[in-house]
Chain A
Amino acid sequence: MNGPKIVLKNISKRFKIGYRKNIGALARVLYFFSSREPKRTIEVLKDFSLTVNKGEIVGIIGLNGCGKSTILRIIAGIYEKDKGEIIVNGKIISLINLYAGLKDRLTMRDNIYLLGSLFGMPTKEIKKKFHSIVNFSGLEKFVDTKLYQFSNGMLQRLAFSIAIHANPDILLLDEVFEIGDEEFRKRSVKWIEGFVRKGGCVVLVTHDLELVNKYCDRIVKID
């Protein structure tokens, strides 16, 4: 597929968030009984534009709450934009919350089928790629172990391994390399380099400046 993989043009996004309002006694009583909090609107993104070409790794950095994850969610189609235009070419796989979709009372085997399916993989394909997923994660000894006995690093290995086997064209990663060991990080980075060489693209949200400086083709800083 020619042309850019992702185009965001003048994207704006607002949220209604709860806050402590200076209100009278009667209003306080009403809010207490109804359990509904007062809300105000904040504009997280205003006229934000970004183009990501195939074969590119783009790093997004910024303070907590500045809208980095919101950008990923808008690209992935999880949030609706309020204004602007989005063009996406290809299958998106998003790892925004590493533990989302994993069930800690089930085995690694069951979780591979569940998360693989949530990522849009047919059961036949999961069966075919099962050993490859397990091998990439390096968790061969724990296939029938329940996830509540896994460390955070092991969960990261598992989630990342399933995600990259789901045939993505576009990979959206939100702080996935902040945990986990150096060996797995190197293996993942090596995979990503191969992925972008084949025409994929990656949008990486992170606080790790060393990582973005070393591996990203472009860095976008959000204020």
Chain B
Amino acid sequence: MKQTMSLPKNFIEKIKRLIETSYQIAKTEFKLKNEGSYLGIFWYLLNPILTFILLFLIFKDRLGVNIPFYALYLLIGIVMFNFFQSSTLEATRVIRDYRYVIKSINFPKESLIISIILKNLFSHFFEIILVSIVMVFLKVEIVRIFYYPFVFLLLALFGLGISLFLSSLTVYFVDMENVWQFLVRLIWLATPIFYSVGGQIRLFYLNLLNPMYYYISLARGFIIEGQISNCIFWGAVIYSVLFWGVGWFVFNKLKNKFAELI
């Protein structure tokens, strides 16, 4: 389709529209999630708090016995994985949920995926407040939490890439939603959330292929230890850029057929 608009102006307009639309969809979905709820945002904290309490009580004297600040170590892992899990699982359903809009209005479809990240960022914010409370309680330097936004940026970029990839693939392969639910459970178990890699060489090598290991380790490095390893840092950056690039490419290749297939 030929459009009579100059290229740079067209590009800037597109980006502005993408941001505005993503924000409005995220706001809408956030309101819908809390619509009519008596406890409201408390629900965002309930899931990580209950998971944390349960795992802490079970593992603090076993797997967590040699891990300093185990409560904080565990909570960081839980909230970061929670963000990744919620975003990617929602992404497998979003194109189908918005099928009538996609078939009726030509709007930037990427905004559906970006809105998921924005919406989950909001609930993640409350989880990070919870992490800060635990830091104060354990007398860990609270200023270290200000490094977290950088780690989150990398995690969000990675989550966006995976979400773009999954959302477009689900249109072509409906089974992808079930496959991903299963895979996410495997990644949860394979990622050192409630245990430490320690001296287990095989587990360590396996986790080098697991991007979530890098983001969680980076956040723990900044918050608990106050230092990070170069390998973990560059691994996180490379995985973020790589997955975002692949996700964006696949989504853009497939998005023009969405309206016909849903």
Contact = CB atoms under 8 A, between A and B. Distances in A.
Interface of A: 1, 15, 73, 76-80, 86-89, 92, 94-97, 99-101, 103, 105-106, 110, 113-114, 116-120, 122-123
Contacts of B23: 117, 123
Contacts of A105: 32, 35-36
B100 A1 contact: no
A48 to B, nearest CB: 15
A184 B198 CA distance: 71
B35 A106 contact: yes
A123 B20 contact: yes
Nearest to B29: A103
Contacts of B25: 114, 117
Given A117-B21, A122-B16, A106 B32 contact: yes
27 contacts: A1-B4, A73-B103, A73-B259, A76-B106, A77-B106, A78-B105, A78-B259, A80-B260, A88-B1, A92-B106, A94-B104, A94-B105, A94-B106, A97-B100, A100-B100, A101-B101, A101-B105, A103-B28, A103-B32, A106-B32, A110-B31, A114-B24, A114-B28, A116-B24, A117-B25, A118-B101, A120-B17
A47 B101 CA distance: 28
Nearest to B260: A79
A96 B31 contact: no
Given A1-B4, A88-B1, A96 B104 contact: yes
Interface of B: 1-4, 16-17, 20-21, 23-25, 27-28, 31-32, 35-36, 100-107, 256-257, 259-260
Contacts of B106: 76-78, 92, 94
Contact of A120 (B2, B107, B256, B259): B107
Closest 8 CB pairs of A and B: A117-B24, A100-B104, A100-B100, A97-B104, A96-B104, A77-B106, A100-B101, A78-B259
Contacts of A123: 20, 23-24
Contacts of A89: 3-4
Contacts of A15: 260
A106 B105 contact: no
A118 B107 contact: yes
Contacts of A113: 24, 27-28
A212 to B, nearest CB: 21
B4 A80 contact: no
A171 to B, nearest CB: 13
A31 B257 CA distance: 24
Given A106-B28, A113-B24, A78 B104 contact: yes
Given A78-B106, A97-B103, A100-B101, A110 B1 contact: no
